[in-house]
Amino acid sequence: MLLTIFFSILFFLFFFVGLFVMLTNNPVHSILALVLIFFLSSCLALILGVEFLAVLILIVYVGAISVLFLFVVMLLNIRVLELNISLLKY
Domain parsing of the chain, residue ranges: 2-89
With a cut of 60, say whether residue 83 has pLDDT above it.
no
The topology (CATH level 3) of 2-89 is: Four Helix Bundle (Hemerythrin (Met), subunit A) (1.20.120)
First-last CA distance in the chain: 57
pLDDT-derived band at 78 (thresholds 50, 70, 90) equals low
Is residue 42 very low, low, confident or very high in pLDDT (cuts 50, 70, 90)? very high
Spatial contact of 55 and 39, defined as CB atoms under 8 Å apart: no
The rounded distance, in Å, linking the Cα atoms of 23 and 17 is 10
Q: What is the pTM of this model?
A: 0.76
Query: Rounded to an integer, what distance in angstroms lies between the CA atom of residue 41 and that of residue 71?
Result: 22
pLDDT digits (tens, 9 = 90+) for 43-67: 999 998 999 999 998 999 888 888 8
Nearest to 74 by CA among 30, 31, 28: 28
Sign (positive or negative) of CA dihedral 22, 72, 32, 83: negative
